[in-house]
Amino acid sequence: MRETIHLASQRRETLVDITAEVRAVVQRSGIADGLVAVYAQGATAAIMVQENWDDSVQTDVIDLLARLIPRGVWRHDAQDGNGDAHLKAGLVGPSETIPLIGGTLGLSTWQNIFFCEFDGPRRDRRAIVTVLADAGA
């Protein structure tokens, strides 16, 4: 089963919590056990599983990536000024796979799924959610 989550980003760089939307896709799938793959469409976006309790962790992720990969110093910037966004997306990665156990995402108490925006704001970002059933299920 596959669905697309549509979202808008409000800042150039931000982590958008999409856990509730992914849970809703899982519920609609009717699948109890298997895997949930979440994939960010777009070369300047990524998916990350990260702490959900304290927003400072999300801010720290953005700050760390800004220090590691600064703006305005990359060859690709001559094309459209977003060389850093491409590198950040590549470093974080476009997808995460989460186990589905008894109809529940196998996240810990402190984990959520975040869409990582590195080149916003954007009106229509997309995350593809694929729910796969265990072969024996």
Per-residue model confidence as pLDDT tens digits over 112-128: 999 999 999 999 999 99
pTM of the model: 0.95
Ordered alpha helix ranges (H), 2-74:
19-29, 55-68
Which residue(s) pair with 111 in the sheet? 51
Q: What fold, for 2-132?
A: Jelly Rolls (2.60.120)
Listed in sequence order, the residues at least 6 apart from 10 whose beta carbon sits closer than 8 Å to its beta carbon are 120, 121
Q: What is the pLDDT of residues 43-52, one digit of tens each?
A: 999 999 999 8
Q: For residue 49, give the amino acid letter.
A: V
Q: Which two tokens stand for residue 50?
A: 């990260």
Q: Per residue in 53-65, is it b (16+ CB within 10 Å) or e — as a string?
A: eeeeebeebbeeb
Contact call for residues 16 and 32 (beta carbons, < 8 A): no
Q: For residue 52, give the amino acid letter.
A: N
pLDDT of residue 137: 58
Indicate the domain borders of the chain: 2-132
